[in-house]
Structure 1
Amino acid sequence: MTIMAGMGSPTGTGVGPLLRGWRVRRQLSQLQLALRADSSARHLSFVENGRSRPSRELVLRLAEELDVPVRERNALLLAAGYAPHYPETPLDDPSMATLRGGLERLLAAHDPYPAVVVDGSFRVLAANRSLGLLLTGVAPHLLEPPFNAIRITLHPDGLAPRIVNLRQWRRHLLERMERQLELVRAEPLRRLYEEVRGYPEPAGDPADEPADDRVDGPAAYGSPFALPLRIRYEERVLSFLSTIATFNTPLDVTVSELAMETFLPADAETVRFLQSVVGPER
């Protein structure tokens, strides 16, 4: 398993504006949030306007009710003048041995189908044997650790030339990054987004093309319920549906940002090919 350190904690401009931003994003009134957090709308108004400093406990209660990501909860505490509440333990720390072992078993169990574990910046932390099949032909400079799943997928020297439905898959990945950027103020993630957005776009893909009007949408590739990743491998095209799993109720920043992405075969031909080439774990 390849291990990398987590991203640095972001800084804030004051706990009041930060809390107000999260409240507006969750579409809650001050009264609604105050009732949920066992406070008062008047006190919450004072906090948001900077007229009152919230207690550490109130910051944590508000963050819980607003479903704020763990890293950003620490940012709220720092902005309020308190120490972070949630640790950020490196994945290679001895205390993470049980968690690492569980991830490795999950990855191995998904063979012969590809699976990967990434962090909040989409850096690859671990992968199973089958992922190597998809990475065939990727330029060596993209595979130097710590390599990045988004960069490898969309880079002209990576998987992009082999992805049959690159226009749709590129749009999907950029939208996924945009959603994540709305939740975490991570400069490395923003730099990655700007980088991959600048890669050459597939020809004939109008930026404002309505999704419902595309003739090459999911149904055109044999999957009417989810967009498949269709990628060339030698003389055939492999088709996958992507699923993402995260940890429930994480109490550590590192754990909160881990995600396991698994690729399920979208057709019988892909199943037969992977089972014949990768085979069961020995």
Structure 2
Amino acid sequence: MTKPTSQDGVGPLLREWRRRRKLSQQELALRTEISARHLSFIETGRSQPSRALVHRLADSLEVPLRQRNTLLVAAGYSPLYQETPLDAPRLKVVREAVDRLLTAHAPYPALAVDASENIVAMNRGAEVLLSEVAPALLVPPVNVMRVCLHPDGLARQVINVDEWRSHLLGRLYRQSRYSGREELRELYEEVSAYGPRPVKKDCTELSDTIVASIRVRALGTELRLFSTVTTFGAATDITVSELSLETMHPANERTAAAFRAAVSPQADRADRKDTMSLLSRSA
């Protein structure tokens, strides 16, 4: 079945988002405080929503900013949300915030990732963790899913590789469904084919853990880490709204000590600015 585009009008797009969120017309109508009849007319093209109603429907459906612009254009309105390059002067304050957060997390690994799962910045701890990854996978733009799951990537050092793959693939699958981005679906198809045996694509059979744990052979020992992901709340710029910070935390003192010994805070501060600018230009 072909997915609707902005040329099909706002109705089919809203219907696709409603189905993706697994909502009935009645449920969405209640959330948006309109009648189910009115919503039905909008989805079939018999009624044209106001600009304000498009925003309310997008809010109720949790539509990402990039796709909200598509809804607005399909409804005949100008796009609202700007997409600013990360290296633009307007986002200097964001770059500085990311830099502070990554530097503050040292010596433990931390990186910033865009909507395509490409790394736009990372600290020295992340560089150390990825030091044995095949160089070809670290040529910008560096995709975190390929780096982690490719047979020549971090996966070959991971002890609990099945668990780790399941977590990452589950996250990528859900993100592709949530955002509606075709490139994420294609990335999922690619990286899910890595490894000695296929992973089932039904997201209900993939790990849905809140805090993912990873055991890695590196720095001359077995490292035990868990990861968390943070996003920018209330962002009004597409680039910022699609940016996430991924931080890895030591799960035991052995791991903490290994990173403290391997990462010099002075070297991390010296390297951070160059790393940010290099990856931002290539993203």
Q: TM-score, normalised by structure 2?
A: 0.83
Matches within 5 A, 1:99-114: 99-114=94-109
The yes-or-no answer on 1:276 pairing with 2:261 is yes
| Secondary structure at 1:50 match in 2 | coil
1:40-83 alpha-carbon deviations (Å, 9 max, x no partner) = 33221100111111122211111112221111211211222222
| Secondary structure at 1:171 match in 2 | helix
> C-alpha displacement at 1:135, in angstroms?
1.0
Instruction: Show the counterpart of 1:249.
Output: 234
After superposition, the Cα gap between the structure-2 partners of 1:226 and 1:59, relative to the gap in structure 1 and judged at 3 Å, is closer
- Between stretches 182-191 and 49-58, larger displacement belongs to 182-191
Q: Is the 8 A contact 1:239 1:270 kept in 2?
A: yes
| Secondary structure at 2:142 match in 1 | coil
Where do 4+ consecutive residues of structure 1 move more than 6 Å? Answer: none
Residue identity opposite 1:257 in structure 2: E
Distance in 2 of aligned mates of 1:28 and 1:113: 41
Instruction: Show the counterpart of 2:79.
Output: 84
The yes-or-no answer on 1:179 pairing with 2:179 is no
Instruction: Show the counterpart of 2:274.
Output: none
Q: How many residues of Structure 1 are paired with residues of Structure 2 in the alignment?
A: 259
The yes-or-no answer on 1:142 pairing with 2:127 is no
Instruction: Show the counterpart of 2:281.
Output: none
After superposition, the Cα gap between the structure-2 partners of 1:272 and 1:157, relative to the gap in structure 1 and judged at 3 Å, is same
Q: Is the 8 A contact 2:192 2:199 kept in 1?
A: no
- Between stretches 130-139 and 74-83, larger displacement belongs to 74-83
The yes-or-no answer on 1:199 pairing with 2:194 is yes
Instruction: Show the counterpart of 1:16.
Output: 11
Q: Is the 8 A contact 1:71 1:184 kept in 2?
A: no
After superposition, the Cα gap between the structure-2 partners of 1:27 and 1:190, relative to the gap in structure 1 and judged at 3 Å, is closer
> C-alpha displacement at 1:23, in angstroms?
2.9
The yes-or-no answer on 1:267 pairing with 2:267 is no
| Identical pairs, percent | 51
The yes-or-no answer on 1:235 pairing with 2:220 is yes
Long gaps (5+) in structure 1: 1-9, 218-223
Distance in 1 of aligned mates of 2:194 and 2:100: 35
Distance in 2 of aligned mates of 1:272 and 1:225: 25
Given candidates 135, 141, 149, the residue that maps to 1:154 is 149
Given candidates 39, 44, 52, the residue that maps to 2:47 is 52
Distance in 1 of aligned mates of 2:23 and 2:136: 47
More helix per residue: 2
Distance in 1 of aligned mates of 2:245 and 2:95: 12
- CA root-mean-square deviation: 2.5
> C-alpha displacement at 1:116, in angstroms?
0.3
Q: TM-score, normalised by structure 1?
A: 0.83
Instruction: Show the counterpart of 1:7.
Output: none
Residue identity opposite 2:244 in structure 1: A
Q: Is the 8 A contact 1:167 1:201 kept in 2?
A: no
Distance in 2 of aligned mates of 1:273 and 1:159: 18
Distance in 2 of aligned mates of 1:225 and 1:44: 35
Distance in 1 of aligned mates of 2:65 and 2:220: 45
Residue identity opposite 1:268 in structure 2: E
Distance in 1 of aligned mates of 2:83 and 2:253: 42
| Secondary structure at 1:228 match in 2 | strand
After superposition, the Cα gap between the structure-2 partners of 1:37 and 1:192, relative to the gap in structure 1 and judged at 3 Å, is same
1:8-52 alpha-carbon deviations (Å, 9 max, x no partner) = xx9444321221233344454434433443433322110011111
Q: Is the 8 A contact 1:228 1:241 kept in 2?
A: yes
The yes-or-no answer on 1:75 pairing with 2:70 is yes
